Amino acid sequence: MSQFIKWPNTFCRAIIFFQFIRFIQADWESWWTYEGISGPDFWGRLNPRWSHCSKGQRQSPIDIDTSTLLYDPYLEPIKINGDYVRGQLVNTGRGISLLVDRSTTSSGDKHVTISDGPFSYQYTVSNITLHFGRENDRGSEHTIDGRRFPGELQLYAYNSQLYSNWSEAKREPNGLVAISIFIMVSGHPGQVVTLNQQQPNAALKQITGLLKNITKRGLSYTIESLSIMDLLPSSWKHYVTYEGSLTQPSCHETVQWVILNRPIYLSSYQFHMLRHSLKGDGHQDNFRPTQPRNKRSIRCNIVYENLGNSDRNVVDEQHHSSNTLMSTIQQVR
Ligand SMILES: *[C@@H]1O[C@H](CO)[C@@H](O)[C@H](O)[C@H]1NC(C)=O
Ligand SMILES: *[C@@H]1O[C@H](CO)[C@@H](O)[C@H](O)[C@H]1NC(C)=O
Ligand SMILES: *[C@@H]1O[C@H](CO)[C@@H](O)[C@H](O)[C@H]1NC(C)=O
């Protein structure tokens, strides 16, 4: 009898043990955070495949020190083909991402490609990730002269000329590009409120409007149609570019970054919605600290004369800094 009682006990323990192992294996990929013992300082040690996070010398994000920018007259505007995408809006528990569906059918043009600019290949948009903080004084991953912005939208694309998908491309040379757009709070005190450019971004509004359907980690919601064009600021001609990495594990150093010189805007209420969506997971900041630039050069096509240009009529010279992000550069003549 005693044996009969003991046996299930051991059996249960074994089951629990194996379940635990399975849990670890299944969850290994997501076992990292932005704080504490699984935070950014330890990513490289959590998993041997993430060693780049600690050993890499070309990591992202970085601080963009505008006194070291190199002006490159050959940097053309970026070309974006297509407009609408379909995808899953996911609450990852650490942030909000839109995983773009891979176009499979001929029913409509639901994929968007990026080329030209500093890129030698054509890249297919695959993923949009939002970074933000607990308060308005932080949230972006990249900083400009040490200044952090309330949010940063990262539009990731993979090299679809050389590789068949994101997972393959992220490990390979020239695999990925990321276009980074800072998000500012519209109508925030200290900013000029009358400008059209400071209206909340329409496509971002569409995303924040759906957050109520993904209030918990792991939940997702299908967006049938989102305009990438609407997500971009009024002009994306002027930017900064450098070679870096993914800002999350595995931290692969295969990303050509482009940081646009114009922000997009979101209302305080929508920022609140974003923060609220991570409430169950501790309402944390979700940006990685800036990494050393080391020997990398940061190029740009921003010239002082370009500031405002098309929008000059609506922008008082004094307020350039609220409309474009970088206004001074070291020009190589
Ligand atoms: C989407 O981007 C995030 C942020 O870089 C990354 O962690 C994730 O693996 C990407 N997922 C897909 C399916 O592209
Ligand atoms: C990505 O492409 C590689 C190479 O073609 C293939 O082996 C792999 O299964 C693909 N992965 C996914 C997630 O489709
Ligand atoms: C999304 O959330 C809203 C408000 O909670 C609800 O009315 C709506 O039915 C939800 N939609 C889906 C498809 O779950």
pLDDT in tens, 78-107: 999 999 999 999 999 889 999 999 865 445
Helix (H) or strand (E) holding 176: strand 176-185
Within 10 A of 284 (CB to CB), how many other CB atoms are there? 19
For position 197, what pLDDT does the model report?
Answer: 53
| Domain ranges (residues) in the chain | 32-67+76-295
Q: Ligand 3 mean position to 72 CA, how many Å?
A: 48
Taking CA atoms only, the protein residue closest to ligand 3 atom 14 is 213
Q: Is 171 in the pocket of ligand 2 (CB under 6 A)?
A: no
Residue 104 Cα to ligand 2 middle (Å): 15
The reported pTM is 0.84
321 CA distance to ligand 1 middle (Å)? 32
Looking at ligand 1, which residue's alpha carbon is closest to its atom 3? Answer: 129
Assess whether the C-beta atom of 212 lies below 6 angstroms from ligand 3.
Answer: yes
CATH class of 32-67+76-295: alpha beta
Whether ligand 1 lies within 6 angstroms of the CB of 248 is answered as: yes
Residue nearest to atom 9 of ligand 3 (CA): 213
Return the pLDDT at 103. Answer: 62
Q: Which two tokens stand for residue 263?
A: 């922000």
Does the annotation mark 163 as catalytic? yes
Q: What percent of the chain has pLDDT over 70?
A: 77
Query: Among residues 121, 158, 163, 242, which one is catalytic?
Result: 163
User: What DSSP assignment string belongs to 2-54?
Assistant: HHHHHHHHHHHHHHHHHHHHHHHHHHGGG---SSGGGSTTTHHHH-GGGTHHH
pLDDT at 96: 95
Residue 254: name the closest of 123, 143, 130 by CA: 123
Write down the pLDDT at residue 184. 93
Give tens-digit pLDDT for 156-165: 999 999 999 9
